[in-house]
Every structure is written in C-alpha cells, then in structure tokens.
C-alpha cells in the first residue's frame, strides 16, 4: 500500500486531501467493513461503506470510486450479481472476498471471470 503513502502526506487533514482514491467496501458484516476501512484509511484512501449489494449499486450509479471491495455472500444482492451490474456501469477494478471455504459454484464463477 505504498502508493497512497507516496501520493498523500499523512500530515494532511481530510479537507486538504481532495482527490483521494475512493474505495467502496461492501460487506454485510460490520466488523469486516470496519477492519478494511481502518487499514485502508491508514494508508491514505477514502472509504465508503455499504452493508448490502443493493445499497452499493445505488451508490455506484451516482458516485465515482476507484475500487470496489465486495463480499460474495450478501443479502438483497449478492456479490456475483453486484459484480455483473457494476460491469454494466463501466470498467472498474473489483476485488471480491469470501469468508470460509470456496464452493464449486464460486470456483466456476471465479474461473469464468478471469
């Protein structure tokens, strides 16, 4: 995570850091979102948290962000469906995370997406 350290001085306050890379973190588990947010904010990124795929999609349709980190298993709109809808909005980097073991269906989807 040296990129953010090089681009943004840790002595700058939030108002001075206009143009921070924004990361959308989507997970239905608050402690996972908090852990990711704390780590990435320390590295100089601006974090937007959403607790489900539907809220994340609504945000993505109306705001710009640089990276989406999303959980695969979520209520309302799972990570796979969200990923598909985000791809329809445009090309953006997406990092998908899954807690626990990956099942055969997940492995097939991952292989198809690569």
pLDDT for the residue 13: 43
Residue-wise pLDDT tens digits, 43-74: 999 999 999 999 999 999 999 999 999 998 88
**Cβ-based burial of 78 (10 A; exposed 0-12, middle 13-18, buried ≥19):** middle
pLDDT for the residue 107: 63
pLDDT for the residue 24: 97
More confident residue, 101 or 68: 68
Token reading at 54:
């539907």
Residue-wise pLDDT tens digits, 5-48: 333 333 334 444 467 899 999 999 999 999 999 999 999 999 99
**Bridging pattern class, strands 22-26 and 46-50:** parallel
**Residues 3 and 48: beta-carbon distance below 8 Å:** no
Q: Calculate the CA dihedral of residues 90, 95, 101, 103 and round it to 10 degrees.
A: 20
State how many domains the chain has.
1
Q: Which domain holds residue 18?
A: 2-113
More confident residue, 11 or 79: 79
Q: What is the CATH number of the domain that holds 38?
A: 3.40.50.2300
- For residue 2, pLDDT over 50 is answered with no
Q: Per-residue DSSP letters for 46-87?
A: EEEEESSHHHHHHHHHH---SEEEEESS-SSS-HHHHHHHHH
């Amino acid at each position: 995570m040296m990129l953010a350290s090089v681009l943004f001085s840790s002595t700058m306050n939030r108002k001075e850091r206009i143009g921070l890379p924004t990361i959308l973190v989507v997970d239905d588990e608050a402690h996972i979102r908090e852990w990711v947010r704390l780590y990435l904010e320390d590295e100089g990124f601006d974090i937007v948290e959403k607790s489900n795929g539907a809220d994340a999609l609504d945000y993505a349709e109306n705001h710009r962000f640089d990276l989406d980190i999303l959980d695969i298993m979520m209520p309302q709109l799972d990570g796979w469906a969200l990923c598909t809808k985000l791809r329809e909005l445009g090309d953006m980097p997406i990092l998908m995370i899954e807690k626990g073991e990956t099942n055969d269906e997940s492995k097939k989807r991952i292989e198809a997406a690569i």
